[in-house]
A and B are shown apart, each in its own frame.
Chain A
Amino acid sequence: MSALLTFTNASVSLNMRTVIAGLSLDVAVGEVIALLGPNGAGKTSLMRAALGLVPLSVGQVRLGGDDPRALSPRQRALRAAYLPQRPQSIWPISVERLVALGRYAYGAAPDRLAPRDRAAVDAAIKVCALEPLRARRMDEISGGEKSRAHLARALAQQAPLLVLDEPTAGLDPAQALAVADVLRGRAGVGAVLFSTHDVALAARTAHRVLLLREGRCVAEGAPEAALTPEALEAAYGRKGRLDRVEGALSATFF
């Protein structure tokens, strides 16, 4: 099967500034890929370019074989689901209706779901442990619960590729690990591309990491092989190290 997402020598410029410079990446089914790097390294721009939300200045991007900017919004939504960095629910709709918005591309109305849509919504709600919160309004639940509701919305979309911008930001360690488990679970049906500032979580969750700095790839590969002290220092400007503590990877910066 062809790659779900391919960047070939891709560059992105925003306001005359190069934010992605000559990057190549293949994302295949079954992979969970973490984007790491300091603030402003280009993680968000890379994800937005993958969805065709920003144009490339050089190179090419293919989403399921096609240029994402040549696809209709609906076709794009059937190939990739996107969770922005600060997901919004401007109106305080219920958790269930928010998740149901993930079925938009299938023509579903959030309050009258067909059996197939309902099954997808129920499954996403279950995976994200939102069952008790279904009927709650989005302005009545905690920040962590909101994040999970938005993640469930992206899952309900059932696109082969999940693109998640900092899905664990603001979550407590237990919730972050629960999200990591969800991401690993997605590897069976598609691929996940997610960004995070939690190096240890990325190393534990992803099959492959991409370490960025100023729009360039500093290191790429299996977490333990790629995230060397030299690579971490080159990316973050601080000495850092991956260790195994009781079998789990942990990251320390000095």
Chain B
Amino acid sequence: MSNSARLVFSLVVVSALALVAALYLGPVPLAHPFAGDDETKTIVWQIRFPRALTAWLVGAALGLSGAALQGLLRNPLADSGVLGLSGFAALGAVMAFAFGFAAFAPAAALAFALFAAVLVTALGWAHRGPASLVLIGVGLSSTAGGLIALALNLAPNPGALADLVNWTLGSVEGRSLNDVALVGGFLAAGATLILFGARGLQALTLGEEAAAAIGANVTRTRALVVLGAAACAGGATAVAGVIGFVGIAAPHLVRAASGHDPARLLLPSALAGGTMLVCADIGVRLLPTDTELKLGVAAALIGGPIFALIAARLASRSADA
């Protein structure tokens, strides 16, 4: 078995273990989650299973879109959260909710994520180095944050405010199989698009011109990956709100084991992202806090320092060179 096949296999096993563990663990510990009584059935199959599966799919979508954006922009700090895709997706969803078009929230999240993705790739395409790309993303994220605040201010129904704030914090609490289907569909669409652009990502290792010279259609690759990443980030955000850093941490964890190959990295990043988010969600459910810690908050608490670490390491490397 090749190295990357072994990596994928172990990540699948770990994902499955995490999902099963999510059925056992929670505020009410269950010794036999597969028991047949009604109460257990309700807790496990109505609450825990959809929630865990949503967490996995959201994490996989974020991990995949992060890895794809990193390959496209040739930048290990790229991620749908950092680059503003998630922020704009949340803005789209919040606006749809605040103005009474809840049914259009997923479509709005997708459209806004796509808008941010196109903008950030257009601005950051001329390979200006990791730092400037992240700064462009910070600008976009702040803009989205400001506009979300504005939408909340203007929201005709102040009673919905709490729900809307939840969106910006990120959570998979109380998600149903409808949410699973929604994020699953977006992930499948995004993954298909990204898959068709994967070889182009390998070519882009050589830089844009050399990639074209070995026969890669760079324009096509860019279109596929931007669309795919936006679908993943839009779907994840439409269901779970803004959850940051998974898209950075997951590829970072599996990069060396994938031989630093931007295409081989995609599937392991998705699997690692899913596992990470299921584990993080088990964590927030087990924490003995009065109100449950939001998953997005937990992700930021764990992912923020990792992001800073990668950025610092990159900075010292470019100082050496």
CB-based nearest A residue for B317: A139
Binding site for B on A (CB under 8 A): 48, 51, 53, 72-74, 76-78, 80-84, 87-94, 97-98, 101-102, 104-105, 109-111, 137, 153, 157
Q: For the complex, give the distance between the alpha carbons of A90 and B318 in Å.
A: 12
Pairwise interchain contact B259-A88, C-beta atoms closer than 8 A: no
Pairwise interchain contact A157-B205, C-beta atoms closer than 8 A: no
A90-B207, A101-B205 known, 12 other contacts, Cβ within 8 Å: A73-B218, A84-B209, A88-B210, A89-B205, A90-B204, A90-B206, A91-B261, A91-B262, A98-B206, A102-B214, A105-B214, A105-B215
Instruction: Give the contact-size bracket for chain B.
Output: 20 to 34
Pairwise interchain contact A101-B214, C-beta atoms closer than 8 A: yes
Q: For the complex, give the distance between the alpha carbons of A94 and B4 in Å.
A: 14
9 closest Cβ contacts across the A-B interface? A105-B215, A77-B215, A82-B213, A88-B207, A74-B215, A90-B74, A104-B214, A91-B260, A104-B215
CB distance from B1 to the nearest CB of A (A): 13
Note all chain B residues with C-beta closer than 8 A to A101.
202-203, 205-206, 214
Q: List 30 A-B contacts (CB under 8 A).
A: A51-B213, A53-B212, A53-B213, A73-B216, A73-B218, A76-B215, A81-B213, A81-B214, A83-B210, A84-B213, A87-B210, A88-B206, A89-B206, A90-B207, A91-B261, A91-B262, A92-B260, A93-B205, A93-B259, A93-B260, A94-B259, A97-B261, A101-B205, A101-B206, A101-B214, A105-B214, A109-B202, A111-B4, A111-B264, A153-B214
CB-based nearest B residue for A108: B199
Pairwise interchain contact A73-B259, C-beta atoms closer than 8 A: no
Pairwise interchain contact A73-B207, C-beta atoms closer than 8 A: no
Asked if B143 is at the interface (CB within 8 A of a chain A CB), the reply is no
Note all chain B residues with C-beta closer than 8 A to A110.
202, 261
Asked if B2 is at the interface (CB within 8 A of a chain A CB), the reply is yes
CB distance from B262 to the nearest CB of A (A): 6
Given contacts A76-B213, A84-B210, is CB(A111)–CB(B261) below 8 Å?
A: yes
CB distance from A171 to the nearest CB of B (A): 19
CB distance from B205 to the nearest CB of A (A): 5
Pairwise interchain contact A137-B260, C-beta atoms closer than 8 A: yes
CB distance from B41 to the nearest CB of A (A): 45
Note all chain A residues with C-beta closer than 8 A to B212.
53, 73, 76
Note all chain A residues with C-beta closer than 8 A to B209.
48, 53, 82, 84
Note all chain A residues with C-beta closer than 8 A to B215.
73-74, 76-78, 104-105
CB distance from B64 to the nearest CB of A (A): 17
Q: For the complex, give the distance between the alpha carbons of A104 and B260 in Å.
A: 18
- Which of B207, B214, B263 touches A157 (beta carbons < 8 Å)? B214
CB distance from B73 to the nearest CB of A (A): 10
Name B158-213 residues within 8 Å CB distance of A.
199, 202-207, 209-210, 212-213
Note all chain A residues with C-beta closer than 8 A to B210.
82-84, 87-88
